[in-house]
Structure 1
Amino acid sequence: MGFPGTWMTESESVVYRVVPKCACSSIGQIMYYSDHGRFFDGDIHDATEGLHKWAQDHSQPVITENVQSHRSYAFTCVRNPYTRILSSFFDKIAGIQRNGRRYRGNLVPMLAQKYGIDVGSPENGFEFDQIASFRRFLLFARDTIRFRKPMDPDIHWSAVSGHVATFVANGGRYDRVIFTEAFNDGMQAVLDAIETPVPVDLAQVPRFNESEGHGPKRLHPVEDYFDDLSMHLVWEIYHRDFQLFRYDFEHPGNKLPLGEVDLDELHAVLGE
């Protein structure tokens, strides 16, 4: 299986396991800058040069050798399951993508038909019942993850621990797991631990949120979207994320982790 979703700087200063909806655009751009002294012009996910990526055939042997010998500092970035699944809904289901179309073509019409989800449109200012539609989407996300119906789970709402685990399963080891909610502190700790060809001043790095501005704004506090049944579904899908990454299941409005990640526990659980 190798190391899917793994990026590495060409200088091999650092290795990063990408997790969708967890600041991956910003991290990729910082890595690119740390080698080249400039940011990639466009979405870093589209870059085919300047950064080793597992999806590029020529990068695979270089990444494999580095990771299996733990030659470079390796990290990943995680996010609160409540805010991550909400963000996935507003970006991928309710939003219009960068190409001007709906995500995955017929996905939204299928959700409207099978789950009664309404996400409005640019023409009506994205007016719809956000809470009702999100809760129906949550049921769909659960069905994809638990039963692989009506489709396989999408990378944007499959569990963070599942993404993180592939790196460990094939012999990788993380030196740090950082939190999206404390991004600057975590990213600074990574930069302090490595040597990059070009110094990075985090205070000068712009925000790279490739999904922003393409759809409706969230109208309510996070906790308003999750009633008792919704919380039950979230636990069913993401219980390992809450446990491993120390997020607060009982209080959807508390996006901050309750403590640091125990790396020994993480590797023991994900390496099983």
Structure 2
Amino acid sequence: MVERVTRTGKADGGRGAPRSKQIVRLLGQEAGKLQYLSPGSRPTDMTFGRFFNSTFVSNSRRFVYVKNDKAGSSFIIRSLTRSEKRVRRIRHRTPFLNRQANPLLTPAELTPRQWERALSHYFVFTFSRNPFSRTLSCYLDRIVGRDESYFVLQKRIGFADGAQPSFTEFLEMLGEEDVLDLDTHWKPQYRNIAYDYFNYGFVGHFENFGVEFPALLSWLYGRKAKLGEVRQGTSATKQLADYYDDRTVALVRDLYGRDFELFGYDETAPLKVEPVRGNDMDFVSERRRRLGRAA
């Protein structure tokens, strides 16, 4: 998706943030990135750009959200952005994917010391998805639908213009050298979210999104989620039986074995997408401790 800079306008409900402020923030973000040039200062599983673009920090509510593509990420970011605006009384329009307008911070806007404190003391969360439905959703949406991921794969593999790989061929391509990390929509989730770098307080299940995310948003902001806004996309879950056989099950299991293990999904049952291990959400019944100043 191409990010668009909003037009200059006054800070009211129908106008965008002044472009000059967005430019100043962009320059600050770019300068802030220089602090993280050392590979040891950022997750090894994330590219330099993804670390900043896919990590959302709230100092007001003391949390870090890490984006995981194909697991409700756009809806989550949009909901968090709206909630953050309400808490901070921001009235101008904020395109939620424009990091220069979004009120949620990137790590580049924190010093390394502040970032380390956020990692230690902030609530870090994300959402996972059953690899069977996630991979099929990626195939239907990004390959059959000819999104940009299609051309990324075509350039790497070299198949003919207009060719449509079958689902089995797609999975076999992902198994080739250096292909699995080419695109975050099919990259293993544990690497997508830098599981070994962040100390996660909660990894939700996309399959239980209607229960888990509203409870989480209410706990963070005291605000209800409007779940009717969730995009249904390709409805991959309804098409699992059409695409999975012994061969495709084995391929997905080999590609995403650690995802199945870490996030509690059954690698032998492609038609049963619900997690076999539930999440403990007792923490949402407890009142969040008084939020201190930014780190």
**TM-score (norm: length of structure 2):** 0.65
Amino acid in the other structure paired with 1:48: Q
Residues 256 and 26 of structure 1, relative CA distance in 2, 3 Å threshold: same
For 1:113-132, list aligned pairs within 5 A: 113=159, 118-119=163-164
**Following TM superposition, by how much is the alpha carbon of 1:220 offset from its aligned partner in structure 2, in angstroms?**
6.8
The residue type paired with residue 134 of structure 1 is F
Q: Give the match for residue 174 of structure 2.
A: 141
User: Structure with the greater relative contact order (CA < 8 A, sep ≥ 6): 1 or 2?
Assistant: 1
Report the residue type matching 2:100 in the other structure.
T
CA contact (8 A) 1:83 1:255 kept: yes
Change (3 A) 1:15 1:110: closer
RMSD: 3.3
Are residues 221 and 208 of structure 1, via their aligned partners in 2, closer, same or farther at CA, if it must alter by over 3 Å? Answer: closer
Q: CA deviation at 1:118?
A: 3.7
Could you say if the C-alpha distance between residues 153 and 109 of structure 1 is closer, same or farther in structure 2, counting changes exceeding 3 Å? closer
| Equivalent position amino acid for 1:53 in 2 | T
SS of aligned partner of 1:36:
helix
Tell me, yes or no, if the aligned pair for 1:89 and 1:137 is still in contact at 8 Å: yes
In the alignment, structure 1 residue 183 sits paired with structure 2 residue 209: yes
Q: Unaligned stretches of 5+ in structure 1? A: 120-131, 264-272
Q: Deviations over 1:134-184 (max 9, x none)?
A: 1111111121xxx215x85321111111223x2542xx3211111111112
Partner letter of residue 148 of structure 1?
Answer: D
In 1, the alpha carbon distance for the partners of 2:186 and 2:265 equals 17
Aligned equivalents of 2:134, 2:104: Cα separation in 1? 26
Of 240, 261, 278 in structure 2, the residue corresponding to residue 260 of structure 1 is 278
Percent identical pairs in the alignment equals: 25
Q: 1:201 is aligned with what amino acid?
A: K
Q: In the alignment, is the contact (CA less than 8 A) between 1:40 and 1:47 conserved in 2?
A: no
Distance in 1, matches of 2:238 and 2:82, equals: 36
- TM-score scaled by length of structure 1: 0.70
- Give the greater-gyration-radius structure (CA): 2
Distance 1:108 1:182, change over 3 A: same
Which residue identity lines up with residue 31 of structure 1 in the other structure? L
Partners of 1:217 and 1:262 in 2: CA distance: 27
Distance change >3 Å, CA 241–CA 106, structure 1 → 2: closer
Q: 1:161 to 1:33 in 2, by over 3 A?
A: same
* Aligned residue identity for 2:210: N
Partner of 1:242: 260
SS at match of 1:16: strand
Take 2:188 and 2:92, find their aligned partners in 1: how far apart are those partners? 29
